C-alpha cells in the first residue's frame, strides 16, 4: 500500500493544486461579475457555460488523449486553463467570460480524466477504495481552501485572478516530473441515454434534477450570499461549510441507502433538503450568522443525492455496463447543471435572492415525487443484488478513469453497439 501511494503522490498533489485553483475561481468569478455589473441572468449563464464545457470535455477529452497521449494532453489543458483566469481579468464583458468559462470546463474535465485514469491504473483491487477515498478527502479539503483563498485580497484587484492562474499552472509540475509510467489509452464507450432511462428512470431523472439544483447553487450561491448582505469572508465560509456538509453526509446516507430501498432514502433526503432550503427564506442571516448552519445542513442533504441516484442506477445495470451507466449519468447531470442557473437566475433578480433555494426545493420535491411514482410501478431491488454505495466524487472518477483495466471489460459490450442502432 505504501508503495502504491508513493507512486501516486505526484498525481494527488497535481489534483490538489488544480482543485484549489478551481475552487478559488468558482467563488471569485460570480462575486467579481457583480462588481463588473453583470446581471444575475448573465452570471447564471456563466455557470451554465462551465458545465457545457465540462460535458464537451467528457465527450472530446478521450479523443484528445488517445491522439497525443496523457502527458501532452495534460500540459496543453493546463496551459489553456491557466490562461483563462488572466483573460477574465483583462476583458470584462459577459459573452467573453462565458467563452472562457466554457474552455475552463472542457480543460478541467480532461485534466481530471487524465489524473483519475492514472490513479485507477496504479491502484489494485485491494487498495483502490483507500486510494480513491484519499483522493475524495483531498478534493474536498483543497476545494475549501480554494474558496477561502478569496479573502487573501480585494475582489476588485488583479491579485486573485493571477493567484488562480498560478495555482492551475503549478498543477502541471508534479505530474510532469513523476517517474510513474503513463496509463493505458482511454477506451471509447458508447452512451445510450434512452437505454439507461429504460433501465433506471429514477437514476436518469434524479441525476438531471440533482444537476439542476447543484448547477444553480454552485453558479449563484456566492451571488445569493452577497445579496443577503454577507461580507466576502462569510460568503466564502458559507460556501466552504456547504462543501464540508456534503462530504460528511455522503457516508451515513450512502450506508442507509444500502440497507433500505434507495428510492425511499432519496425521497426522504430530497424532502428534508427542500425543507431546509425553504427555511432559509425565513432566517435572519445577520442573527449570529445562522445561515452558515443552514448551509451546512443543506449541503449534508443535497450533495449526496447524486451518489444515491448513481447507486440506484448501478443496482439495475448488467455486468459490463457500469462505465456506460456512469458516463450517461454524468452527462445527464451536466445537462441539468446547464439549465439550472438559466432557470433560477431571473427570479433572483425580479423576486428575491431566496428564489435560489425555492427553486432547488422545487427540483428536490419533483425528484421525490418521481421516485414515489416509480415505487408504485417497480418493486425494490433485493438486498443481495445491490451494488455498494460510492460517494459522488468516486462515482465521477469511474467515468473519468476509463483506462484499459476498467474499460476493457466493457469494451466487448460497448463496441458492438458502435455498428448498430440505438
**Of 181, 212, 246, which closes a domain?**
181
Mean pLDDT of the chain: 81
For residue 350, the tally of other CB atoms under 10 A from its CB is 10
**Of 129, 157, 181, which closes a domain?**
181
Residues 125 and 222 in one domain: no
The closest alpha carbon to 193, from 61, 309, 341, 333, belongs to 333
* Per-residue model confidence (pLDDT) at position 156: 84
Within a domain: residue 417? no
Residues 212 and 115 in one domain: no
Within a domain: residue 419? no
Within a domain: residue 326? yes
Residues 256 and 342 in one domain: yes
Residues 276 and 171 in one domain: no
Within a domain: residue 215? yes
Between CA 369 and CA 378 the distance in angstroms is 15
Binning pLDDT at 50, 70 and 90, where does residue 420 land?
very low
Residues 70 and 139 in one domain: yes
Measured CA to CA in angstroms, residue 174 lies from 74, 407, 409 at distances of 12, 26, 31
Q: How many domains would you assign to the chain? A: 2
pLDDT digits (tens, 9 = 90+) for 321-362: 666 777 788 889 999 999 999 999 999 989 999 999 999 999
The closest alpha carbon to 304, from 273, 325, 342, belongs to 273
Residues 373 and 340 in one domain: yes
Q: Is residue 300 within 8 Å of 246, Cβ to Cβ? A: yes
Q: What is the CATH number of the domain that holds 388?
A: 1.20.1250.20
* Per-residue model confidence (pLDDT) at position 282: 76
137 vs 345, residue with greater confidence:
345
pLDDT digits (tens, 9 = 90+) for 7-33: 577 888 888 899 899 989 999 999 999
Residues 200 and 310 in one domain: yes
pLDDT digits (tens, 9 = 90+) for 46-61: 999 999 999 898 888 8
Residues 168 and 240 in one domain: no
Q: Running DSSP on this structure, what letter comes out for residue 228?
A: T
Residues 120 and 228 in one domain: no
Mean pLDDT of the 237-248 span: 89
* Per-residue model confidence (pLDDT) at position 176: 78
- Residue 402 above 70 pLDDT? no
Within a domain: residue 19? yes
Give CA 255 to chain center in angstroms: 21
Residue by residue, DSSP assigns 30-78 as HHHHHHTT--HHHHHHHHHHHHHHHHHHHHHHHHHHHHH-HHHHHHHHH
**Of 181, 200, 234, which closes a domain?**
181
Residues 375 and 236 in one domain: yes
Top mean-pLDDT range of 197-201, 291-295, 354-358: 354-358
Residues 167 and 132 in one domain: yes
Within a domain: residue 220? yes
Within a domain: residue 141? yes
Range of the domain at 377: 191-411
Residues 151 and 219 in one domain: no
Within a domain: residue 207? yes
Helix/strand/coil (H/E/C) assignment for every residue in 114-172: HHHHHHHHHCCCCCHHHHHHHHHHHHHHHHHHHHHHHHHCCCCCCHHHHHHHHHHHHCH
pLDDT digits (tens, 9 = 90+) for 266-288: 999 999 999 999 988 776 555 55
User: First vs last Cα of the chain: how many Å apart?
Assistant: 43
| Greatest distance between any 2 Cα atoms in the chain | 62
* CB proximity list for 266: less than 8 A, separation 6 or greater: 202, 206, 257, 305, 308, 309, 312, 367, 368, 371
Amino acid at each position: 500500500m505504501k508503495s502504491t501511494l508513493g507512486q501516486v503522490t505526484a498525481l494527488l498533489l497535481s489534483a490538489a493544486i488544480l482543485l484549489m485553483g478551481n475552487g478559488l475561481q468558482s467563488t471569485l468569478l460570480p462575486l467579481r461579475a457583480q462588481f463588473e455589473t453583470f446581471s444575475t441572468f448573465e452570471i447564471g449563464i456563466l455557470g451554465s457555460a462551465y458545465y457545457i464545457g465540462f460535458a464537451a470535455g467528457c465527450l472530446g477529452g478521450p479523443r484528445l488523449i488517445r491522439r497525443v497521449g496523457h502527458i501532452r494532453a495534460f500540459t496543453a489543458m493546463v496551459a489553456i486553463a491557466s490562461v483563462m483566469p488572466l483573460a477574465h481579468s483583462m476583458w470584462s464583458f459577459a459573452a467573453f467570460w462565458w467563452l472562457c468559462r466554457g474552455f475552463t470546463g472542457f480543460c478541467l474535465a480532461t485534466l481530471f480524466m487524465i489524473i483519475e485514469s492514472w490513479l485507477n491504473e496504479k491502484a489494485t483491487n485491494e487498495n483502490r477504495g483507500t486510494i480513491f477515498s484519499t483522493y475524495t478527502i483531498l478534493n474536498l479539503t483543497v476545494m475549501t481552501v480554494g474558496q477561502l483563498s478569496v479573502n487573501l485580497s480585494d475582489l476588485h484587484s488583479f491579485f486573485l485572478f493571477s493567484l488562480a492562474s498560478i495555482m492551475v499552472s503549478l498543477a502541471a509540475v508534479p505530474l510532469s516530473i513523476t517517474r510513474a509510467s503513463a496509463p493505458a489509452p482511454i477506451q471509447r464507450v458508447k452512451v445510450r441515454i434512452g437505454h439507461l432511462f429504460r433501465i433506471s428512470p429514477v437514476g436518469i431523472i434524479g441525476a438531471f434534477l440533482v444537476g439542476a439544483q447543484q448547477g444553480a447553487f454552485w453558479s449563484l450561491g456566492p451571488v445569493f450570499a452577497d445579496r443577503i448582505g454577507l461580507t466576502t469572508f462569510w460568503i466564502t465560509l458559507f460556501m466552504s461549510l456547504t462543501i464540508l456538509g456534503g462530504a460528511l453526509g455522503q457516508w451515513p446516507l450512502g450506508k442507509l441507502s444500502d440497507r433500505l430501498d434507495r428510492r425511499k432514502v432519496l425521497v426522504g433526503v430530497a424532502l428534508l433538503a427542500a425543507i431546509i432550503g425553504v427555511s432559509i427564506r425565513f432566517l435572519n442571516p445577520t442573527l449570529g450568522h445562522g445561515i452558515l448552519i443552514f448551509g451546512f445542513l443543506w449541503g449534508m442533504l443535497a450533495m449526496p443525492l447524486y451518489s444515491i441516484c448513481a447507486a440506484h442506477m448501478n443496482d439495475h445495470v448488467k455486468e459490463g455496463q457500469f462505465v456506460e451507466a456512469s458516463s450517461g449519468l454524468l452527462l445527464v447531470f451536466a445537462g441539468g447543471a446547464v439549465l439550472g442557473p438559466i432557470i433560477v437566475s431571473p427570479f433572483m433578480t425580479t423576486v428575491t435572492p431566496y428564489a435560489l433555494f425555492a427553486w432547488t426545493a422545487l427540483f428536490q420535491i419533483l425528484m421525490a415525487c418521481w421516485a414515489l411514482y416509480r415505487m408504485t410501478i417497480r418493486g425494490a431491488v433485493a438486498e443481495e443484488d445491490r451494488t455498494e454505495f460510492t460517494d459522488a466524487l468516486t462515482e465521477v472518477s469511474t467515468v473519468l478513469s476509463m483506462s484499459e483495466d476498467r474499460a476493457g471489460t466493457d469494451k466487448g459490450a460497448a463496441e458492438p453497439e458502435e455498428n448498430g442502432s440505438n
